[in-house]
Amino acid sequence: MKRCVVLLALLVFLAVSLGLAQTTARPSSQKPALLVKGPDDLALEKRVAELERRLDSLGLLVDIHADELGKLGGGFAQFDPASPGAFQVVSSGNGALLLIFESAAPYLDGYRASLKVGNPWNMTFKGLSVKCSWGPRQKAAENYFEWFSGLKTKTDSVSNDFAPGRWSLLDLILPATGATDFGYLMVSLTSTTVSLGVPLN
């Protein structure tokens, strides 16, 4: 009798052990559940990608205008040819100058933009380097960085003297520009030489 009880206990132990082994092994034969991305996850990924693209564009913008950003004061003036507004103050590196947009007219295959440069100082600016960017007016729903990167850019050297306390005319030739391509103008001025009325003794 005692031998039967021991044998029965052994069989129960083996059955329980086998059942536990099968229970433990069963999950390993199942494939892990795939993670399904919800609308919030997809929207977050799209937002991150957009922010990364804007960051790249911002880096390009900083590289293009590194000189202007390094100056004190406003490094450039921005005009809408249809409503240019009052004068703007532009740092030239040797002192701030005033800039007014006067008019624009078709010229050859583009436009000629006429501006006036005001010299409020008691010194003459001996020539200027003029950098301008222009293009169509930004649309309401248009991405700023894509629009800005599509602007045309040129740099000219102006040999004129800009006398103290006076306004002087400055013409900019903007080639290959149609009527619909000219709704924005940005101008920066750089001076390397100035002259005082009284010589240094």
Place of tokens 């149609």: 178
pLDDT at position 30: 58
pLDDT at position 20: 43
Answer whether residue 18 shows pLDDT above 50: no
Answer whether residue 188 shows pLDDT above 70: yes
60 — pLDDT class (breaks 50, 70, 90): low
Taking a C-beta distance cutoff of 8 angstroms, is the pair 100, 201 a contact?
no
Averaged pLDDT, 30-59:
74
Query: CA–CA separation, 125 vs 193, rounded Å?
Result: 6
Q: Where are the domains of the chain?
A: 64-196
Closest CA to 67 of 76, 59, 58: 76
Rounded to two decimals, the pTM is 0.64
User: Would you state the structure tokens that stand for residue 90, as one six-digit string?
Assistant: 């532009």
Answer whether residue 70 shows pLDDT above 50: no
Architecture of the domain defined by 64-196: Sandwich (2.60)
Averaged pLDDT, 45-70:
69
Higher pLDDT, 12 or 181: 181
The pLDDT tens digits for 132-187 are 999 999 998 899 889 999 999 999 999 889 999 999 999 999 999 999 999 999 99
The pLDDT tens digits for 77-120 are 999 999 877 899 999 999 999 999 999 999 999 999 999 999 99
Answer whether residue 33 shows pLDDT above 50: yes
pLDDT, the chain, mean: 80
Averaged pLDDT, 6-25:
44
Taking a C-beta distance cutoff of 8 angstroms, is the pair 188, 71 a contact?
no
Taking a C-beta distance cutoff of 8 angstroms, is the pair 61, 68 a contact?
no
